[in-house]
Structure 1
Amino acid sequence: MKNGFVVFTYTLLLASLVSACGQGKKSESSNSADSVASVEETAASTAPDLPPPSESSTHFSKVVGWKDGQLPKAPDGFVVTEFARDLDNPRRTYVLPNGDVLVVESQTERKGVVKKVVAAVSGQAKSGASGKSANRITLLRDANKDGKPEVRETFLEGLNQPFGVLVIGNTLYVANTDALLKFPYQTGQTRITAKGTSILALPAGGYNNHWTRNLLANADGSKIYISVGSGSNVGENGMENEVNRANILEINPDGTGERVFASGLRNPVGMDWAPGTQTLWTAVNERDELGDELVPDYITSVKEGGFYGWPYSYYGQHEDPRRKGERPDLVKKAMVPAVPVGSHTASLGLAFYDKTAFPEKYRNGAFVGQHGSWNRSSFAGYKVVFVPFQNGKPSGKPEDFLTGFIASDTDVFGRPVGLSVLPDGSLLVADDAGNRIWRVSAK
């Protein structure tokens, strides 16, 4: 899609779409760097060598789905099975205290003529689910632990683009795109009918697919962390429309005490604690339209008060040419992420392996779900990669773990995203475009 009227139309409509992006509700807590605590650790010489910006490409995948019996591929020594199918865009999984699995079914909603035309012209409409979000959470129970759930129940419905799920004691938290809700919960429940209580407003929607709001609690349940993606690619709608966005927020379990824990994280979806530490890690989906090799998505430890560059710079002090000279003070203190995981991979899922069923090399390491992106001339992502860790720190480069999602240079079978580790040590992979949950176990 390089020349002609189609390109012009797409560009014009995309610009209109960007300018019409939803604006989040402002609060006293802002994601501007002026509100972020001073950070002693700044950009360092550990940043990878990056090429200069280049021409941007567009290459949406077409989802063709899985045939019966067809499976993704794992390394030797592992078995891949189908844990669940016939779901409606299963974006996220969460393991309850008793081992039940919650599957969050929700998706991007393209509302309005402009968004629908852009999706059709660009090919985006065929790269994933379209239509109305299911706005549902389904419960799966594998009582006999044979890897095949016998119970499947609608656990909670009537939500608004849910994503994050969290249990603290007898309270279930659900992060809609626009609010954090809490519900009374008892272990073993298969359905919640009580009306949720909203305890925190969140900025709704966001650029492209940045509507997801993830949740994570600290060890004693005294704090909740909420990931909120940006409302734009690179702040093109004005930073006044990015309040409380591109952040990880911290609150108390009752919704009070909201503050910015870390900022400058364009779309920090996956969150988890490195085993044996009190260090929060996140997977970040970086910016678009700087060329095939820019900007690398990454996983990184998250420092309290840390600023990670968005939108003014990337990977430390690499200044974004579209924001050149605007905030040299922020560029100077932008922190370098820990591990690059490929440009335009749409790395959204993150789960540390804290069990012992997998071979030694995988223990305490990180699995990253790469949903696959559109802003590259050839496909990148569309797989799960593994990053080895030792003593709470990365000890090697990312390596492929679950592949086989790409069918050709135009088609894909599915798109992996959310990850969870089951009590038996197997790994669950949510494939939202394939409408399946895959289970990977060691032989």
Structure 2
Amino acid sequence: MDFIAKATALVGGTVAYVRRRGSPSFQAFGPEPDIPEARKQGIMTLKMPVAEGWKDGRVPICAPGLAVNAFATGLDHPRWIEVLPNGDVLVAESKEQAGPPKTLMDHAAQATMRRVKAIGESANRVTLWRDADGDGMAEIREVFVENQNQPFGMALVGNRFYLGNTDGIKVFDYTPGDTALSGSGQTLVEFKPHGHWTRSLIVSSDGTKIYAGVGSLSNIGDQGLEAEEGRAAIWELDLASGKARIFASGLRNAVGMAWEPVTGKLWTVVNERDGLGDETPPDYLTSVEEGGFYGWPFCYWGKTLDDRVPQDPAMVAKAITPDFALGGHTASLGLCWMPEGTLPGFGSGMVIGQHGSWNRSKLSGYKLIFVPFANGAPSGPAQDILTGFLSEDEKLAYGRPVGVTLGPDGKSLLMADDVGDIIWRVSGAA
């Protein structure tokens, strides 16, 4: 395995160097992005920094007027965050558990992911962190629930706590102030595991429904569309009846979700397909229409065909163009709505945790960004909130942003960093 890792780094580095010379000098960002023509890759570009972590007092770089501190440390691959009404902060600690590689490319991809601790043994738990004295740093840590199956999304409705495991949604009884759940919970919906394994959750504004993001098994339906049934979609679970259905589809890997308060629409960030070039197609932020189809696997960014896929003209004709491009392969995962007044220098809009690329010649993402909104839609270019997660030569990753949410005080953001094993807190500078 060490030989494969070294060989992958050597070959991947050579391929990335060659492709970097012909890569675009811009990123596909915004409502009308300039998306380069597809360039099929016979050998996938594999480029991943080595996980370094935060050493010698190094911390992320804040936008002017902001400050950052570690809210919680010593976690095991923290991915997602949920703040309870009493201010307790829940963190899902989980990791992709790769199956046996079937091809040489599988071996290479897994070796690449291990360099940045992206796959391996999963902690499979949710921990509770409490900042009892309100100083912006948690002093109390408890195991809230453990022995789960790659837990990710979390949601609380009344005294019922919902957890998105990779194989379905479970519900537990919860009493305000509890530091641990009891019992094994009840499974409400089953999802197919593997592939894109995260299962984010969000509650409807009236508390009657839960929405769950379920990513595709493969890049472009490589194992046939039957294997993708029920995937590449956002599901809706009606809590009263227990019935679940697909709410929107054609979303290759919809992860973070958020409600936009002016229109009441659901928004999500989506990771697009690989193998067509550094900037093609871009990941995106979009509103989600009930019954909407967003193109995967047949087409991207509206009706741009992917000719690697057997086509379905009727489905292509239905494809909805996303609202806002986020750059190619930025792995935009985290998403939350930030009201005006939360952080100085920033209005209202969407905050996005960009986990960072592994499959392009020049790395992208690896930052926490903000997209301003007005009248229910993106209203300007993206702004950086936190950067500095990569070394200048792109060889080291100090951290990788994932989930993001408002802090308990309403004047800060909390962001999970699964390489640094830290929950960062961003607030106004003193």
Do these two structures clear the TM 0.5 threshold for a shared fold by scoring above it? yes
2:181 paired with 1:192: yes
Q: AA paired with 2:152?
A: F
Q: AA paired with 1:154?
A: V
Aligned partner of 2:140 in structure 1 is 151
Identity %: 48
Name the stretch that deviates more: 89-98 or 406-415. 406-415
**What is the alpha-carbon root mean square deviation over aligned residues?**
2.1
- SS of residue in 2 equivalent to 1:287: coil
User: Is residue 364–residue 392 contact of structure 1 (8 Å, CA) maintained in 2?
Assistant: no
Aligned partner of 2:156 in structure 1 is 167
User: Is residue 275–residue 364 contact of structure 1 (8 Å, CA) maintained in 2?
Assistant: no
Aligned positions of 1:339-418 closer than 5 A: 339-354=324-339, 356-359=341-344, 362-407=346-391, 408-418=393-403
Q: AA paired with 2:158?
A: G
Cα deviation, residue 330, structure 1: 1.4
Change (3 A) 1:321 1:390: same
1:198-255 superposed Cα distances (whole Å, 9 cap, x missing partner): 111111121xxx1000111111111110110001100111100111100001111257
Q: AA paired with 1:106?
A: S
Aligned partner of 1:78 in structure 2 is 66
Q: AA paired with 2:63?
A: P
2:49 paired with 1:61: yes
Aligned positions of 1:32-431 closer than 5 A: 47-56=32-41, 57-112=45-100, 114=102, 118-119=107-108, 122-206=111-195, 210-253=196-239, 256-323=242-309, 326-354=311-339, 356-359=341-344, 362-407=346-391, 408-424=393-409, 425-431=411-417
1:367-415 superposed Cα distances (whole Å, 9 cap, x missing partner): 1110012110011011111100012211012122210000132211111
Change (3 A) 1:292 1:129: closer
Aligned length: 399
Name the stretch that deviates more: 350-359 or 190-199. 350-359
Change (3 A) 1:184 1:115: farther
Q: 5+ residue gaps in structure 1?
A: 12-45
1:143-181 superposed Cα distances (whole Å, 9 cap, x missing partner): 221101121111110100000100000000001100110
User: Is residue 345–residue 370 contact of structure 1 (8 Å, CA) maintained in 2?
Assistant: yes
Could you tell me how far apart the structure 2 residues matched to 1:441 and 1:144 are?
Answer: 17
- SS of residue in 2 equivalent to 1:123: helix
| TM-score (norm. length: structure 2) | 0.88
Cα deviation, residue 111, structure 1: 3.4
User: Is residue 343–residue 428 contact of structure 2 (8 Å, CA) maintained in 1?
Assistant: yes
- SS of residue in 1 equivalent to 2:62: coil
Could you tell me how far apart the structure 2 residues matched to 1:84 and 1:149 are?
Answer: 6
Q: AA paired with 1:348?
A: L
Q: 5+ residue gaps in structure 2?
A: 1-5, 13-30
Aligned partner of 2:23 in structure 1 is none
